[in-house]
Structure 1
């Protein structure tokens, strides 16, 4: 008896597993599971396309992990789609390289008056590094004695996207504007960024500093700093280059949006902000509402109102002058997709600061399967994107095209509504009639349960017969 019951129990266990699996497998996503769709515009190469998400897509998403984005062809069949970070990047993403100090040389400002021609005696090593810069060929000194600063980046092993300045200890108060120019040969110069604020002030024991200059990443070996607000030198003790890591896929340009705050409950000087979607925020700028103001600020965020606040940045915020005046530098943070933000100020501000959040849009790779046109759909609490093995596809293409090959860039067109807000609610549990397979599985489970009960009763009535086979 026990042998027959054991066999029946094993069969019932398998039936239960099959029944559970039949109920657990979600149906593949279809366009009707999503709120809106966007056409993917571009010509594929080797069947692959690469595109970046737009603010409209982020605003439609219901999930912070971006799993409610899927792709379909003209026949509404699902096609392979995956984030660039998982498909194209190396498994381990390195952090940005640390800043490196740069050699500085003072050069006469009159050099700028000789376009296309260098008036300097320059001594360089065989690898291009500057050893000496002399103005021996310069014309007689003009009325001004101000000098520009020449920076040698020839030994830097990565693109440079900014400079961190160190003010000389004896400089005192500094409130300046500077231009940054770049050159490949010390003769022809072009602007990288103009009219940037450089601030180092001490107001009533509060240190106000803005000592970082940022520009588009460059590989130029020489940079030049020029003070433009007055005829004077820029009192620097040192300059460090802010390098950026080299990536398989170029990082998209930063985008940003500004949020308006509301008083954050009973806490004086606290203001709440709500974002439109799961943007990967990596930089925070706080602009005080009042002119000529300064305050210590703490910026916090959370994913939803039920969670505690988490501190993301703290520092000193200030605003000097009119609307286009000087303000504090933004705060760089590790990327976070929180939608709810709070700024605490001390001394307590009466008006909410403007909170600007900057991010680099997520990029996706699409496999152009089936009949075009292709489109992506986003915004759903009913369906999730399947996990496609796109890394294998890309590895095969790169083995033929080279490691540096990338899918061509595409853009997203105007959106159209699919199921709208209905897709942002969980799918209703429809009462479908049970199939013959379900009835058979349930029958096996009930028969197994009945046999177990019968065996227990038999053993209770005949305790000495437990090991015998009838």
Structure 2
């Protein structure tokens, strides 16, 4: 029986061979060539290649094919969460010609959702501004967005603004060349655009100016979306992508994300001008039975009287749900475009052994080894100090590794492992059968 157990152990050790580079469909060379700790930003190509929703079929290897510690950024060095905060703002004087006034937009809407616009000028309001200064008062923080608290009783308006940043109130740099701020109403409905995404600058002051003379903003307050300073403060800018349209059922439209992206915002673009529609947004896991309610979004696409304005996106929290459904309140001639925003994730890579190093992705069965990145990172800090920062490294052009064979449901090594496991189970069953047979056999007769 001991020999049988040894044989079973050999079978077990042969069945759990570690995944190698060729078990993944494609690879991306890493620019870093020395041993150390690096940050790697996942690219759209990598997201599109992975076959799992939890990204476990992304791994890293050195030139000798040894697996490298690689995975999501440890919590101790991950960027801190952003948060909204009320900001101090000050109206700036603006010299306007006597005939200048506010642009008021009047909207009419038919029962089918068609919109028409009429633009007229009205006298300037005392509580409106044409330019204003924001005192950030958050040294070192990244400014990711700005939102305007608009006066709801003010006249309708549509304004194009520019956003500039400065650290000394003298030298200014443009960070947003043009963005739309608007408040349009019809009956009990209100169409509002009051948020601007910013490219995460570090600045002491922001200056917002209306681009068209005579237009003003009924401003009551300002909020800033700030990301606190930290070990890894910067992250790649938010990116947008279209979802794949799948089908239509009545007023419901179904879409699919082509990759497991960590989306956090969704937007609906209507395919027709001067239209308005309310949408109920739902999402679910792949092939799940029930849809989960996400929220409501009002989509509009206004063109006329020299005005061009579209609705804002909706925040949906960070998730990787692949299937989405939007249901319209009115009939639409064209399927809307469903857009998603996400921040590409930054992972940590610890290199050792010979270069070149590579990131691999895409496998139906191979999975990344689980490494204690936090523990390994603490060991590096013990040697290099608490102020040490991992260096960012770039990825080269995609190359084929295992190719399409890695994405098949089964491969030769996996079949071999299953055969070995089958032999092991069969041997165990035979042993159990022999033991039971011996236990049931009558004892030999005494002489």
SS in 1 for 2:353: coil
Q: Decide whether aligned partners of structure 1 residues 177 and 32 sit closer, same or farther in structure 2, where only a CA change above 3 A counts.
A: same
Q: TM-score, normalised by structure 1?
A: 0.76
In terms of fraction of residues, the more strand-rich structure is 2
Partners of 1:437 and 1:315 in 2: how far apart? 57
Match of 2:267 among 282, 285, 288: 285
Partner in structure 2 of residue 273 of structure 1:
255
Please say which of residues 239-248 and 427-436 is displaced more in the overlay.
427-436
Instruction: Measure how far apart 1:232 and its partner are.
Output: 3.6
Partners of 1:335 and 1:168 in 2: how far apart? 31
CA offsets 1:333-368 (integer angstroms, 9 cap, x no match) = 221112222222111322111111111112222222
Q: Are positions 1:100 and 2:90 aligned together?
A: no
Partner in structure 1 of residue 39 of structure 2:
50
SS in 1 for 2:48: helix
Instruction: Measure how far apart 1:48 and its partner are.
Output: 2.1
Partners of 2:148 and 2:357 in 1: how far apart? 48
Q: Are positions 1:450 and 2:437 aligned together?
A: yes
Partners of 1:408 and 1:167 in 2: how far apart? 43
Q: Decide whether aligned partners of structure 1 residues 298 and 182 sit closer, same or farther in structure 2, where only a CA change above 3 A counts.
A: same
Q: Cα RMSD (Å) of the superposition?
A: 3.5
Partners of 2:424 and 2:225 in 1: how far apart? 65
2:159 and 2:215 in contact (8 A); partners too: no
Partner in structure 1 of residue 125 of structure 2:
none
Q: Decide whether aligned partners of structure 1 residues 419 and 190 sit closer, same or farther in structure 2, where only a CA change above 3 A counts.
A: closer
Instruction: Measure how far apart 1:151 and its partner are.
Output: 2.1
Partners of 1:303 and 1:221 in 2: how far apart? 43
Q: Decide whether aligned partners of structure 1 residues 313 and 406 sit closer, same or farther in structure 2, where only a CA change above 3 A counts.
A: farther
Partners of 1:393 and 1:100 in 2: how far apart? 36
SS in 2 for 1:289: coil
Match of 2:31 among 36, 41, 44: 41
Partner in structure 2 of residue 255 of structure 1:
239
SS in 2 for 1:186: coil
Instruction: Measure how far apart 1:251 and its partner are.
Output: 2.3
For 1:71-470, list aligned pairs within 5 A: 71-84=60-73, 86=74, 89=77, 95-97=81-83, 99-109=84-94, 147-154=130-137, 158-249=141-232, 250-264=234-248, 266=249, 268-321=250-303, 325-427=308-410, 429-430=415-416, 432=419, 444-454=431-441
Bigger CA radius of gyration: 1
1:15 and 1:444 in contact (8 A); partners too: no
2:92 and 2:131 in contact (8 A); partners too: yes
Partners of 1:279 and 1:184 in 2: how far apart? 35
Q: TM-score, normalised by structure 2?
A: 0.80
2:129 and 2:219 in contact (8 A); partners too: no
1:19 and 1:441 in contact (8 A); partners too: no
Unmatched segments (≥5 aa) in structure 2: 97-127
Instruction: Measure how far apart 1:147 and its partner are.
Output: 4.5
Partner in structure 2 of residue 114 of structure 1:
none
Figure out how many residues of one structure are paired with residues of the other and give that number.
406
